[in-house]
Amino acid sequence: MLILLYILFGISLVYIAATEKFKHYIQVYTIQGILLFGMAIIELKSFSVINLLFILAETIIFKSIVVPKLLRKILQRTGIHNVHKMSLQGNYTVMIMLVLLGISLVLAHVLHVPYVGEVYMMIAYLTLFTGLLLITVRKLLFGHLVGFLIIENAVFLFSIAIGNEFPLLVNTGILLDIFVAVLIMSMFLTRIGHKMGGFEVETLSKLKD
Amino acid sequence: MLLAIYFIAGIILSGLIFIFPWRKSINVFTLVFIIVQVLFSILAFTRKDQSDLSYFTYDSLSLIFLIILSLVSSATFFHSIIYTKDSGHRQRAFFYSSFILLNISLTGVYTTNNLIVSWIFVELTTLSVAYLINHHGTANSLEATWKYIFICSVGIALAYIGILFASASSGIGSTGDMSFNGLHNIFAKINPVYLKMSFILILAGYSSKLEVFPLYTIGIDANYVAPSPVSAFLSSALVNGGFVAFFRVFLAMTGTIISIWINHVLLITGILSLVVAAIYMQKATNLKRVFAYSTVEHMGLVLIALSLGKIGIYIALLQITFHSFIKSGLFYQTGLLHRVLKSYKLYKSGGYLRLNPTGAIILIIGVILITAIPPSALFYSEFLLFRELGNGHGVIFIIVAFLLTLIFYGIFLKNSKIIIGESGHIHSDISVIPISEYSTQILFFSIAIVLTFYIPGFLNNLFVSVSGLNNGFLFSILNF
């Protein structure tokens, strides 16, 4: 079961890197939230109702419901639908993803982490690389925002790997931080569009010496 | 309990600002908060080395930065009152509410003893500073704010992954202790390759807050577009927050098998920061960017100092303390300069000495102090740094000296243009600057001069305690 979740998560990463439609980004991100919930529940070392509720809030409610809703709202307000024409095309990103998959595989094998499966670590590395890839190759700021969210998914995977269960207050702090970050970024993204007349990365290159 | 009262008071005052968004009430609420901040710092001293709310400790490191925070936030509030007097209710309410939240977040960063809590508060500083950077709401400030939030958030996430990776690789499982002391024990057992990878991620991530190579650019842009009182706060209290967050992880990693490697990385990163500052300082066409690159220079020196062992930590603490006072004073003065010259642009402004002699003299004093010319306290810390570099780091000594000379030349050249250069097409209006507005700069510069000759015992004890030197250690420039 766990292997199936890993494979599905890996496929979702390749798809999000390759797709050129922003609504697909949101759909894939929603699915990733559900997959993360499954992984977290199976990997949970000690069961408690509080932990379960928290994982539910962090994955299903936050990643699969609240954030996608926020992202959809941004797309409605900004009227952007596809990645920029000048962005790296899907077939090239798939090729890069294959290379990143290879690197993740090697890293997971060479840097073996005790008590954590190699496949799991490979997925965690690949998630981090996918987030960084989106930030690097996408020319619209919305793509960067999704890249940041994918990196946050990598943070979630690494925190499950450590198996450390923090008190509710600390967990709430982490969740609140990420939520406010996404909220503020969304707010500024919309403002940038209105003020600068575009969402391209190039619009943010006025400040230099 | 003390911290709980502080946090609750801060959050309530921050909220009250929105309920009563009038100028006078906002000023009163913020003033009450500043008093709370100062009282909290004083009371924290009486509880030295005690824990609070499980995740916080009033250790020597936190006390040093709480003192600086109290002084800088008081001065920033004073200048902000003047700066925001023509702002709208909503704009002013957002400004002061964010300012209070930023203070609370920084206090959290300084005092926490737990890595995860530190991460939460560091991220909170990024979020709370967003409105302060974007106060003007212009295209430039939006660009700087977006870059600041985005790159800081990604950087901090990378740093967090670095820590989680190191902890996971130790195989600690669910018994893991994420306090900095606990991490020290964990790091001692980890395979060096994991630890190195973890350290690189942490340094790269926190470089956005520390304003050092590689992610220093966002700090430069933020300082450039933010209102001057905010720039003063960013380049002192906020940079200090980044330092504390990084330094605690650094301390947890010292004594491990990769200590020497860490020192090399810090040395290289510090020198690269100096290179960046030296090159871009010459290119800068805006006074605020000149001073922002000077922050990169000083934080680069702090990293170089950290690579030199216990005495290096002592020097780093001196450097960052002195820098906080001088740099914030300079930014306050830059704000007043803008009121006279109506611009920060070097090719548009000039003749500041003729138009406002008092302001120009204070600016000149600030420039002398920031370039570590005696009697600047920075001369004291940089003298110590060069003395240590002279003992077996001859090549580094020459490189650092060369880069500092370039930076020195850049700062003086740019400032001389604005102080004694051609006036250009400007409309001066110096009558609006009362003498009281220079008071904080004079106070901070005086502190930076007095500390050259005399470091109060309680302050020196804090420095010595953090750096792990023998009790009673005090290097005096007067005895050399």
Instruction: Tell me the per-residue pLDDT of B207-241, one tens digit each, with 9 for 90 and over.
Output: 999 999 999 999 999 999 999 999 999 999 999 99
Q: Note whether B221 contacts A115, CB cutoff 8 Å.
A: no
**Torsion angle defined by CA atoms of residues A148, B140, B340 and B89, in that order, rounded to the nearest 10 degrees:** -70
Pick left, alpha or beta for residue B309 (phi over 0 → left; psi -120 to 50 → alpha; otherwise beta). Answer: left
Which of B296, B359, B313 minimizes the C-alpha distance to B333?
Answer: B359
Contact B228, B441 (CB under 8 A): no
pLDDT for the residue B178: 80
Inside any domain, residue A178? yes
pLDDT more than 90, % of chain B: 78
More confident residue, B12 or A169: B12
Residue B164, pLDDT > 90, answer: no
- Using DSSP's 3-state secondary structure scheme, residue B179 falls into strand
Model confidence at B270, pLDDT cuts 50, 70, 90, reads: very high
Inside any domain, residue A209? no
Inside any domain, residue A208? no
Q: Note whether B126 contacts A135, CB cutoff 8 Å.
A: no
Residue B174, pLDDT > 50, answer: no
pLDDT for the residue B181: 86
Which of B206, B225, B77 minimizes the C-alpha distance to B151?
Answer: B206
What does R_g of chain B's alpha carbons equal in angstroms?
21
Amino acid occupying residue B91: Q
pLDDT digits (tens, 9 = 90+) for B300-329: 999 999 999 999 999 999 999 999 999 999
Inside any domain, residue B216? no
Chain A / chain B CB contacts < 8 angstroms: 125
Which residues of A fall within a CB distance of 8 Å from B116?
A: 166, 170, 174
Residue at token pair 């994918």: A150
Residue B426, pLDDT > 70, answer: no
pLDDT for the residue A89: 77
Enter the ipTM: 0.91
Tokens of B65: 């930065």
B433 CB within 8 Å of a chain A CB: no
pLDDT for the residue B378: 97
Residue B259, pLDDT > 80, answer: yes
Which residues of A fall within a CB distance of 8 Å from B193?
A: 111
Inside any domain, residue B296? yes
* pLDDT (average), residues B52-71: 97
Determine the Cα–Cα distance for residues B95 and B400; give it in Å rounded to an integer: 39
Inside any domain, residue B409? yes
pLDDT for the residue B165: 80
Using CA coordinates, name the residue in chain A closest to B123: A177
pLDDT for the residue B379: 96
CA B38 to chain centroid, in Å, comes to 18
Inside any domain, residue B62? no
Inside any domain, residue A205? no
When mean pLDDT is compared across A107-111, A161-165, B140-144, B462-466, the lowest value belongs to: A161-165
**What's the whole-number average pLDDT of chain B?**
92
Evaluate the omega torsion of the peptide bond into residue B192 and state whether it is cis, within 30 degrees of 0.
Answer: no
Helices (H), B84-191: 89-111, 115-133, 139-169, 180-187
* Closest Cβ opposite residue A173 in set B120, B130, B171: B120
Residue B174 CB: number of other CB atoms within 10 A? Answer: 11
pLDDT for the residue B154: 92
Q: How many domains is chain B partitioned into structurally?
A: 1
Inside any domain, residue B90? no
Q: Note whether B285 contacts A209, CB cutoff 8 Å.
A: yes
Helices (H) and strands (E) in chain B, counts: 20, 2
Residue B476, pLDDT > 70, answer: no
Q: Note whether B285 contacts A166, CB cutoff 8 Å.
A: no
Contact A200, A140 (CB under 8 A): yes
Model confidence at B175, pLDDT cuts 50, 70, 90, reads: very low
Q: Note whether B153 contacts A181, CB cutoff 8 Å.
A: yes
pLDDT digits (tens, 9 = 90+) for B446-455: 999 999 999 9
Helices (H), A44-140: 49-56, 67-78, 90-110, 118-137
Inside any domain, residue A98? yes
Task: Report the gap between the CA of A1 and the closest CA in chain B (Å).
Answer: 22
pLDDT for the residue B171: 64
Which residue positions in chain A have pLDDT lower than 70? 45-47, 85-86, 163-170
Task: Report the gap between the CA of B195 and the closest CA in chain A (Å).
Answer: 11
Rounded to the nearest 5 percent, the helix, strand and coil shares of chain B are 80, 0, 20
For residue B462, give its domain range. 260-480
More confident residue, B384 or A160: B384
Q: Note whether B117 contacts A116, CB cutoff 8 Å.
A: no
Contact A102, A126 (CB under 8 A): no
pLDDT digits (tens, 9 = 90+) for B27-40: 999 999 999 999 99
pLDDT for the residue A177: 76
Using CA coordinates, name the residue in chain A closest to B161: A155
Q: Which of A103, A132, A184, A205 to mutate to test the interface with B (most CBs of B within 10 A)?
A: A184
Residue B273, pLDDT > 90, answer: yes
Using CA coordinates, name the residue in chain A closest to B171: A114
- Give the C-alpha distances (Å, rounded to integers) separating B402 from B211, B272, B360: 21, 13, 28
Task: Report the gap between the CA of B366 and the closest CA in chain A (Å).
Answer: 23
For residue A72, give its domain range. 2-200
More confident residue, A86 or B16: B16
- Using DSSP's 3-state secondary structure scheme, residue B434 falls into coil
Determine the Cα–Cα distance for residues B296 and B220; give it in Å rounded to an integer: 8
- According to DSSP, the residues that pair with B345 across neighbouring strands are B286
Q: Note whether B164 contacts A209, CB cutoff 8 Å.
A: no
Say which residues have a Cβ less than 8 Å from residue B458's Cβ, sequence separation at least 6.
none
Q: A118: exposed, middle or buried (C-beta count within 10 Å: 0-12, 13-18, 19+)?
A: middle
* Phi, psi (degrees; rounded to nearest 5) at B86: -100, 5
Q: How many domains is chain A partitioned into structurally?
A: 1
Determine the Cα–Cα distance for residues B34 and B121; give it in Å rounded to an integer: 19
Determine the Cα–Cα distance for residues B407 and B396; give it in Å rounded to an integer: 16
Inside any domain, residue B20? no
Which residues of B fall within a CB distance of 8 Å from A118?
A: none
- Give the C-alpha distances (Å, rounded to integers) separating B197 from B118, B193, B267, B273, B411: 20, 6, 17, 21, 37
Inside any domain, residue A207? no
pLDDT for the residue B429: 56
B176 CB within 8 Å of a chain A CB: yes
Which residues of A fall within a CB distance of 8 Å from B197?
A: 111
Chain A positions touching chain B (beta carbons under 8 Å):
45-46, 111, 113-116, 128, 135, 141, 144, 148, 151-152, 154-155, 158-159, 161-166, 170, 173-174, 177, 180-181, 184-185, 188-189, 191-192, 195-196, 203-204, 206-207, 209
pLDDT for the residue A77: 86
Tokens of A42: 């199976």
* Closest Cβ opposite residue B139 in set A45, A184, A206: A206
* pLDDT (average), residues B259-268: 96
How would you classify the pairing of strands B56-57 and B51-52?
antiparallel
- Helix axes B139-169 and B217-225, enclosed angle (nearest 10): 150
